[in-house]
Amino acid sequence: MTPDVALPLLVLALPFAAFLLLAVVGPLRRTGRPAGLVSIAAIAISFAAALTVWARELVAERTWGWIPADGGPIATVGVLVDPLANAMLVLVTLVALLVQVYSLAYLGDERPGALGRYYTYQSLFVFSMLGLVLAPGFVQMFVFWELVGLCSYLLIGFWYERPAAARAAVKAFWITKLGDVGFIVGIVLLWSATGTFEFTDLFEKAQANALAVPGLATIMFLIYLGAVGKSAQFPLHVWLPDAMEGPTPVSALIHAATMVTAGVYMVTRTEPLFALVPEVLTLIAWVGAFTALLAATMACVEGDIKRVLAYSTVSQLGYMMAAAGAGASPAGFLHLLTHGLFKALLFLAAGAVIHAVGTNDIFRMGGLFRAMPQTAVVFVVGTLALAGVPPLAGFFSKEAVLGGVWEAHLTGPFLMLALTALLTAFYMFRVVFVAFFGRAHAGGHPHEAPWLMRGPLWLLAILTLAVGIRLALGGGEAHEEAPGWLPPLSVGLATVGFVLAWAMYQRGAVDPARVAAVLRPLDYLARRRYGLDGLYAGVYRGIILGLSRLIGWIDRYLVDGILNALTALTLRAGDALRYIQSGRAQDYVYGVAFGVLLLFVWAQLWRR
């Protein structure tokens, strides 16, 4: 315990203060732009503080009791600062800052009230995400885990009057909640077995081999389920593409760079615990690699630029998870960081495009390179990074992931990830060729975005390049052990993907429709998202709603029916017995005489 946590607390407190101010002071919130400036100012200072924390390589922990109990608090809140958290702090505050600046222009047409609401949610999100990153134990992590989910729900549903947005928001909440059910059960079981939620305690026990808890594999699997939901792993990935109904800057921040990586962060954070259960790790690697491949195939047939990026996010999250599962969590985390940069870049660039042409459909874009060259350049930078082309940031982290998976002798996942690398280059360049080159389709006159939007784009593009160069020069330790044939292989795969996309969508040498016809079953399945969305809808409508209707009927007409029947019978009995009280004296005398007779008989027969 060091008292050196003032700075991390400041990082955490500023967005919260902004949120509180905007949430409570209605008149300020309803001003729109000034509200946005408040939020941006808070996050800017927060970013500066996060940079300082990172530069100082601060390591500290401080906790306070949160839920008291007889023998010391059950759960605590606090901050845990270490290199992992520091890097994440910088990423979160940086991307959040750029996204919030960008949003000022992107959402400039919104009503002031709505814009104020947007920045209120944004501030709450940044606070929650930072709280998650700094969590010193499972309870705090879960608390903020749910809060970022809430912000995601609110921001996907930002345009709540649109039915599609409302549906997508609710779907995102439900599907991630499904994973969180596993998460909370896992936490409860872990607490029962070990008596603590605190990471430091748990890690110490893990190191001292004092965590030989029966069923630890089950517990860690349940906790991993939370990450499956949040980080959109198969089979709970279905919410993320729909989440694109939210404003594009939200997609960039929450559904690409930060929140969706919370699952990866959690697995990386609790790596000492997962290391005890190799079978779960292997599962994580397989699921991650499978997710990566599955999402990549769906990205290849998608025409909506944001959805392509969403599938690509799912796919890259699969990479990170596969690395974590292969025991190469530093590689996974590196990929998380670099991906955060270039995916935010891609989303924001896509937002600039959508802003200019007013559609998400890449086949209604075309020839945008001429109209908006700067956006096109940064988009290509992001694409190259995502495809894994040196010396951009994505190349090194992706190679580290592949190397890690290979080192762990996970041949199956390795092959899937390699194939994914090829597909990634293919679907990204497909977007580049169709949207930015080729024939111009868009009516009107698309134009370059205002500086408020272009500034963040250029900054992210430069960072993508700079981080890549930095990794090329010095940060080589992550891929030192990787076999020498790996870099050529991954560059080769990217090149094949590029050439395929070029041949199909630029050169026109191969007709995409013919390729689709050849791969007909696969094309059919990928376009229908492998039927998973339909399956969930069916389970929801058929099983959950059906069961509820059944129970509702039973309650109304059986449980309550028995009661009403008893009531009615009582009423009837009362009606019948009413005639006893006839008001005629002779009836009563008969009654008395009959009673005396009965008493007499009873006395004679049973008394003795």
Partner 1 sequence: MAPLTVPVLSIITWSPFVGALLIMFTARHRPRAVRLISAATTGISAVLSLWIYVAYERENAGFQFYEKLPLVPPLGISYELGVDGISLLLVLLTSIIIVAGVFASWTVAVRSQEFYALLLALVTGVYGVFVSLDLFVLFLFYELAVLPMYLLIGIWGSSGEVRPRGIFAWAYRETGVGTKEYAAMKLTLYLLFGSAFILVGILALYVNAGSGSFSFLDFEATAFPRPLQRWVFLAFYVGFGILAGIWPLHTWSPDGHASAPTAVSMLHAGVLMKLGAYGVVRVGMGLLPDAAVDLAWLVGTIACVNIVYGALSSMAQTDLKYVIAYSSVSHMGIVMLGAATLTEAGLNGSVFQMFAHGVMTGLFFALVGLVYEKSHSREIGKMGGFGKLMPGIATAFTVGGLSSLGLPATAGFVAELLTFLGAWRSAHSWWLYPAVAGTFLTAVYVLRVVKQIFWGPPSPHFHDLVDARGPEWVALVGLVAVLVLFGMVPWLAIAPIDTATVPLLARIVTP
Residues that bind partner 1 (CB under 8 A): 65-70, 73-75, 139, 142-144, 146-147, 150, 153, 157, 160-163, 166-167, 169-170, 173-174, 177-178, 181, 184-185, 188-189, 191-192, 540, 544-545, 547-549, 551-553, 555-565, 567-569, 571-572
336 within 8 A of 320, measured Cβ to Cβ: yes
Please, which residue, 20 or 44, has the CB nearer to partner 1?
20
Please identify, using beta-carbon distances, which residue of 47 and 144 lies nearer to partner 1.
144
**Whole-number Å distance between alpha carbons of 574 and 16:** 66
- 264 with 401: CB under 8 angstroms? no
For partner 1, give the closer residue by CB, 102 or 144.
144
- In whole angstroms, what is the distance from residue 416 CA to residue 318 CA? 11
Which CB atom, from 569 or from 603, has the smaller least distance to partner 1? 569
Q: What's the closest the beta carbon of residue 141 comes to partner 1, in angstroms? A: 10
In the complex, minimum distance from the CB of residue 143 to partner 1, in angstroms, rounded to a whole number = 4
Looking at beta carbons only, is 62 or 343 nearer to partner 1? 62
Task: Return the SS3 of 582.
Answer: coil
**Smallest separation, CB 26 to partner 1 (Å):** 9
Query: In the complex, what is the shortest distance from the CB of residue 560 to partner 1, in angstroms, rounded to a whole number?
Result: 4
- Token look-up 């960039």 returns 252
Nearer to partner 1, 415 or 545 (CB): 545
For residues 518 and 264, give the distance between their C-alpha atoms in angstroms, rounded to a whole number: 37
**CA–CA distances in Å: residue 17 to residues 94, 123, 151:** 18, 9, 16
| CB nearer to partner 1: pick between 565 and 603 | 565
Smallest separation (angstroms) from partner 1 to the CB of 561: 3
Q: Shortest approach of partner 1 to residue 546 CB, angstroms? A: 10
Q: How far is the CB of 67 from partner 1 (least distance, A)?
A: 5
**Residue 262: CB partners within 8 Å, gap ≥ 6?**
129, 132, 145, 148, 227, 230, 231
Q: Classify residue 365 by its DSSP letter.
A: -
* Nearer CB in complex with partner 1: 172/309: 172
Q: What is the C-alpha to C-alpha distance for residues 147 and 142, in angstroms, rounded to an integer?
A: 8
Q: Pick between residue 150 and residue 489 the one whose CB is nearest to partner 1.
A: 150
82 neighbors 88 (Cβ within 8 angstroms)? no
SS3 80: strand
CB of 244 to partner 1, least distance (A): 18
Residue 147 CA to residue 124 CA, distance in Å, equals 8
Compute the least distance from the CB of residue 419 to partner 1, in Å.
35
Provide, rounded to whole angstroms, the least separation between the CB of residue 441 and partner 1.
30
Nearest approach in angstroms of CB 194 to partner 1 is 12
Closer Cβ to partner 1, 156 or 471, answer by number: 156
Q: How far is the CB of 146 from partner 1 (least distance, A)?
A: 5
Q: Which two tokens stand for residue 577?
A: 């017995």
Residues 106 and 255: their CA atoms lie apart, in Å, by 17
Placement of tokens 């530069």 in the chain = 55
Strand 75-81 and strand 60-67: pairing?
A: antiparallel
Element (H, E) at 243: none
Q: Which is nearer to partner 1, 194 or 312 (CB)?
A: 194
Judge whether 269 and 393 are in contact, CB under 8 Å: no
- Give how far Cα 570 sits from Cα of 144, 163, 564, 577, 581, Å: 55, 51, 10, 10, 17
d(CA 22, CA 68): 31
Which of 96, 141, 137, 142 has its CA nearest to residue 119?
A: 96
**CA of 489: how far to CAs of 121, 521, 580, in Å?**
44, 29, 101
Nearer to partner 1, 144 or 414 (CB): 144
Which pairs from 537-544 meet CB under 8 Å and 24+ separation?
540/174
